[in-house]
Structures are given as structure tokens and as C-alpha cells.
Amino acid sequence: MVIVRKAIEDEIQIKKVSNLLEVLGIDYKNISNYILAFIHRSIVNERPDFAPEHNERLEFLGDAVLELVITGNLFVNFPEKAEGELTDLRSAIVRGKNLAKIAKSLGFSEYLLLGKGEEKGGGRENNYLLANVVEAFIGAIYVDLGFEEASNFINKHIYSTVKEILNKESIKEYKTLIQEYAQAKFDITPTYELIDEKGLDHEKVFTVGLYFKSELKGTGSGSSKKKAQEEAAKNVYLELTK
């Protein structure tokens, strides 16, 4: 009988992740959850003896901690901004594209434990997957060291991108966000259809529907079809990711 050591007990994984934590300046108590943060569902399906648990519960926790810390920082540091502006800015900071960029800068992809299919499919470079790992890693810090240390990590590596985001022409780009989300989650590309058109030529209001295949997920209105599509994408994205 071959005894397979679980990932969280594996000496190679312990050494790799402990080195990462040392580089990041995280004085951990229990390394198990940090290793777990890098375990993707695909390897659990293929090798349940080695990886019986994936990182999605930690991701759930880390997502909540991340949003709370970012929300608090924005509330304190931008007293002049209205609720809608703060919401858009928070969405830009915690969006998958930004978190994936941070994951790559920290070298998180090399610590991922993936199934063979996910590996061949380019999982290590998948923005959606990498963003989830960042959230799971935050969850691991919270479980191991508490809110303050998790907050320190978020402030240093994630909230610090706020200036760069503010300097961009647009922080919204919801059509891109909903497309990335739909492709990663459901392997489909959203489509848009004109539902209604009202008003005189110089003051028309267009209403557009956003569809996942034939299912209407939401609508948006605007003074042009492009603006209506952006509004529909925003409405659907915020609803699906809240």
C-alpha cells in the first residue's frame, strides 16, 4: 500500500510556501491554510488523496475581508467622493484583472497546485483563477494571524494600487469585466440586443439587454447603444459579484 502525504503536510510544499511567506514578511503560526490557499479545485478532483480540500472557502472569507478593508480605506481617505464614485473605485481595486496583476507580481502562479487539465489549459496564467488565489491567501492570513495582519497585507499590496487606478482614464470597463467573468465561470461570451429605442433623433434613449446565451441577465439604458451596453454590463456584473 502506497501512503500519499497530503499537500498541507508535504515537505516540498511546506518549504516553498514558507519561503514565500518569509519574502512577504509574514510571520505565520500555522502554514496549512497558506498551502491550502494555492490548491485549486481541479487537483482535488484528480488527486483527492493528495489534495482532499480546495481553496474556495478561504477565497470566500478573503473576499469579505478584502472588501471591508478597501471600503474602510476609501471612506476615510476620500471624504469628497459620493457613494457611487466610491463603489466604482472599490470595484476597480478588487476586480479580477487588478488582483491577477498583483498575484503575478508576487509570483503566486508558481505555487499553485493544479490538475493536469487545468495546467495544460493555461491555468497558471488565468486571471480569474489568480484573482481567487489572492482572496484565498488573504483568508489564510486572517485565519492564522487575524484581521490586522490581513489588513496590512491588503494595504501594502492591493490598496496601494489606488493611485495608479485613479490616474487611468476609466476605472469602470464593465463590458470587459462581465466578459471575463462569464467566460471564466460559464465558458460563454455575453451578447447584447437592442430592446427599446425612444425619443427624437437628437435625444434618443436606447435600452439594451445583456444575454448569457438566450437568458436575459439584465438591461441598461443610455444616450447611445454603446453607453446602454456599458450600463447593462455594469448592472449585471455588480449583481453577480455582490
Instruction: Give me the active site residues, please.
Output: 63, 135
Task: State the pLDDT at residue 3.
Answer: 36
The residue that leads in pLDDT, 128 or 9, is: 128
SS (H, E, C) the chain: CCCCCCHHHCHHHHHHHHHHHHHHCCCCCCCHHHHHCCECHHHHHHCCCCCCCCCHHHHHHHHHHHHHHHHHHHHHHCCCCCHHHHHHHHHHHHCHHHHHHHHHHCCHHHHCECCHHHHHCCHHHCHHHHHHHHHHHHHHHHHHHCHHHHHHHHHHHCHHHHHHHHCCCCCCCHHHHHHHHHHHHHCCCCEEEEEEEECCHHHCEEEEEEEECCEEEEEEEECCHHHHHHHHHHHHHHHHCC
| 190 has a pLDDT exceeding 90 | yes
Kindly report the average pLDDT of the chain as a whole number: 89
The residue that leads in pLDDT, 85 or 103, is: 103
pTM across the whole model: 0.70
Mean pLDDT computed over 184-199: 93
pLDDT in tens, 22-67: 999 999 999 999 999 999 988 888 788 787 788 999 999 999 999 9
Task: State the pLDDT at residue 96.
Answer: 85
Mean pLDDT computed over 162-182: 79
Q: All domains of the chain, ordered by start, with CATH? A: 7-166 (1.10.1520.10), 174-240 (3.30.160.20)
Task: State the pLDDT at residue 4.
Answer: 41
